[in-house]
Structure 1
Amino acid sequence: MKARLLHLALTSALAIALGGPAAYAQKKYDSGASDTEIKIGQTAPFSGPASAYATIAKVQAAYMRMINDQGGVNGRKINLIQYDDAYSPPKTVEQVRKLVESDEVLSTFQLVGTPSNAAVQRYLNQKGVPQLFAGTGAARFTDPKNARWTMGFNPSYQTEGHIYGQYILANHPNAKIGILYQNDDLGKDYVAGLKEALGDKAASMIVGEASYETTDPTVDPQIIRLKALGADLLYDMSTPKFAAQAIKKAAELNWKAVHILDINATSVGAVMLPAGGENSKGVISVNYIKDPLDPTWKDDAGMKRFMAFMEKYYPEGDRTSNFNAYGYMTSELLVHTLKMCGDDLTRENLMKQATSLQNVQLDLLLPGITVNTSPTDYRVNKQLQMMRFNGERWEGFGPIIGAGGS
């Protein structure tokens, strides 16, 4: 009898020991994840005043098709559900609620635009749904203390503003600055960054500020006003439609101001060439992405993978567009993060992995730039290089600049 009891005890102990790792490795799922599928939700401006950004979402959908053709992520297919929000915050709210409450997505991904993301940030944080790699660089989207479920992708607009301010002080110390900005967190962060960098000189150097609403038909009146104030440097913090208008109007007025343009509006195909290559020549901005138009990268392995992807999965898209390069890169990072989750596809673990990225190299990041995040530092991209438009394409100049200006 004792021998039998001892045998049963040993058998039970062995079963527990063997079952321990199996239990530890047990698959975990939240809404939107299963053995076969990962549902991700997105809104994008397929129509409306920011529809130039629609191609980003089209690239992202194509990228997920490629991943699914390759077997998916850890054996699971990605179901990217996309809705048009027309760059209208109320529409974004409606569509994101649908994604969360009807489609039951695991996470949102790359919602496009500062006002759109702002409209749903509180809701997503209350629901505990990741607002992952949001398409904005406004400071409120990299604030883990107040919005732990929100993580922006773009470099900080304030940091970008600091870089422009430092450039102006070094190269145009006597400039008379006219500011054009979008009247939301995007524009206001850029203005704040510039003023912080200029310091005490801001009051004397800035001769005028003019804002616009995304519903405005044109920014012509603002450009006319800033020129009339005597500005000889235009600090243009706008989105593609209005940036192209500003460049065109400045040329019509024969206003030869130094033109600094934010990174969001630097598309060659959507902004610079439609505004006129000669009109756009000399415009200054920043970048962190390999430019598909730059022959420097023609033999680059990452660029070759991008070009092959475009040819097979999005042949109708413009393979020279930096918007499409951006869509490819953001998709690559999402897939990398999902792979890190393994079989623990909970929202909590997704955020844990997204905030634990270490030296991640993406195909189209400039050499020397990698992705690093932490639970206290949600900023995905913290390094930039300045660039100047030569009439046909952008040319980088100067060193890689970090978030601290170094």
Structure 2
Amino acid sequence: MSTNPLDRSIQRRTLLKAGLTLGALQFARPLAASAATAEKKYGPGASDSRIKIGNIVPYSGPASAYSVIGKTETAFFQMINDEGGINGRKIDFISYDDGYSPPKTFEQARKLIEDDNVLLIFNSLGTPTNTAIHAYMNQNKVPQLFVATGATKWNDPKHFPWTMGWQPSYQTESRIYAKYILKEMPNAKIAILYQNDDYGMDYVKGLKDGLGAKAKSMIVNEQAYDTTEPTVESEVVRLQASGADVFFNVATPKFAAQAITKVSEIGWKPLHILNNVSASIGSVLKPAGFDHAQGIVSAAYLKDAADPQWNNDADMKAWNAFMDKYMPGSDKSDSSSVYGYSVSRTMVEVLRQCGDDLARDNVMKQAASLKNFEPGLLLPGIAINTAPTDFAPIKQLQLMKFAGQTWQLFGNVMSEQAQG
């Protein structure tokens, strides 16, 4: 039986409603405790006192701007441990660097599973890197949970029942941009910069699907870049030369910032649409220069810590308190910290729901049983919902435009099916 005072109060009221005396309640406790002990079930990395969680993040390399996510998650689980853990169990959070290199990701995943004996791998970052371990994780029946990538393929429980995404899919996001373009600039000429991998191509596919029959005539130029390139400046110049009046910037932070600066420097003034994964003020817009970023359009599903409308929001106050205590001196304008905090709260909820059954199959079962869960920092109107046939926890976003030094939300919360 739970040692939580609230749980005990609920149990007491339930027994009293059933007509049991307080004496019977006292007698019931050891029986319930024995039953709970008998029902305990553990997978690798789990015990009465600990839960081992693995994580892979690019602390180095071309996507190292995302290292803040791993640092936030490490700090978050330290906070959870300081508060007593989850159902009385402390979290051993083991986070490794892969440099955004798929072969290194595979090496680190094997180390986490075969040497460190973790229960699951949580929020490993990147589309090409998660692709490298996708089959391995499912063949070994290890949860690859809440991956930090919006590729559509993570929502495939029929073929990959051990892998689940978290954030809105890139294709959903792109379809929302397509609706916006068709409404605001129905005769637009669109130029696309995209990363030459599954991540970039997923965004491009979503935009083309959203534009429908008009995609062929509206998209006038596409330029792909590889993460091994030093800059994307030449690609941006070629895109401008196409005569496009809409620029879709599908790039990770380093390259997104370069593109923002270059667009401004060459005097190109398109409708600039920036993918959500690079919408961080701290890691992208500030390095690019706020003067270069004015008017950029993107989409959000999380609250922006730099937006004053959330100053009195209880969940944002809790996040600020966490940051002050566990990540002092960190840049609060970097949205990666909001992301890392929110996805970690979702992981905690899944483990809490697992109770004393910490077998790997139950972890996935509970992850696929989230109903209107709000980790605290999602925008109003957005909640997490999953099911055994639905591994896409977040499906909605809201458009926003950069003005001054903050993002300004506009319009309604949208999904790919309806404009909200």
**Among 216, 222, 226, which residue is 2:239 paired with?**
226
Rounded to whole Å, the distance in 2 between the matches of 1:66 and 1:160 is 32
Rounded to whole Å, the distance in 2 between the matches of 1:19 and 1:327 is 37
Conservation of the 8 A alpha-carbon contact between 1:282 and 1:391: no
Is residue 54 from structure 1 mapped to residue 73 from structure 2 by the alignment? no
Is residue 76 from structure 1 mapped to residue 89 from structure 2 by the alignment? yes
**Among 176, 180, 189, which residue is 1:163 paired with?**
176
Conservation of the 8 A alpha-carbon contact between 1:114 and 1:136: yes
Alpha-carbon distance change, 20 to 397 in structure 1, aligned in 2, over 3 angstroms: closer
Other structure's SS at 1:48 match: coil
Is residue 139 from structure 1 mapped to residue 152 from structure 2 by the alignment? yes
Is residue 285 from structure 1 mapped to residue 298 from structure 2 by the alignment? yes
Task: Please name the residue that 2:161 is paired with.
Answer: 148
Is residue 197 from structure 1 mapped to residue 210 from structure 2 by the alignment? yes
Deviations 1:170-221 (A, max 9, x none): 0011111001111111111111111111111111111110001111111111
What amino acid sits opposite 2:116 in the alignment?
A: D
Two-structure CA RMSD over aligned residues (Å): 1.3
> 1:316: Cα distance to partner?
2.5
> 1:26: Cα distance to partner?
1.7
TM normalised by structure 1 equals 0.94
Deviations 1:264-295 (A, max 9, x none): 00110111111110110001000011100001
Deviations 1:345-390 (A, max 9, x none): 0000000000000011121111111111000011011110000011
Conservation of the 8 A alpha-carbon contact between 1:387 and 1:394: yes
**Among 307, 311, 314, which residue is 1:298 paired with?**
311
**Among 105, 116, 131, which residue is 2:118 paired with?**
105
What amino acid sits opposite 1:148 in the alignment?
A: P
Task: Please name the residue that 2:46 is paired with.
Answer: 33
Alpha-carbon distance change, 35 to 280 in structure 1, aligned in 2, over 3 angstroms: same
TM normalised by structure 2 equals 0.91
**Among 387, 390, 393, which residue is 2:400 paired with?**
387
Is residue 122 from structure 1 mapped to residue 119 from structure 2 by the alignment? no
Identity %: 55
> 1:154: Cα distance to partner?
1.5
Greater than 2 Å deviation, 4+ residue runs: 18-21
Task: Please name the residue that 2:14 is paired with.
Answer: none
Rounded to whole Å, the distance in 1 between the matches of 2:189 and 2:165 is 33
Task: Please name the residue that 1:252 is paired with.
Answer: 265
**Among 363, 385, 389, which residue is 2:376 paired with?**
363
The total of aligned residue pairs comes to 389
Rounded to whole Å, the distance in 1 between the matches of 2:309 and 2:265 is 34
What amino acid sits opposite 1:391 in the alignment?
A: G
**Among 220, 225, 238, which residue is 1:212 paired with?**
225
Conservation of the 8 A alpha-carbon contact between 2:274 and 2:297: yes
Conservation of the 8 A alpha-carbon contact between 1:382 and 1:402: yes
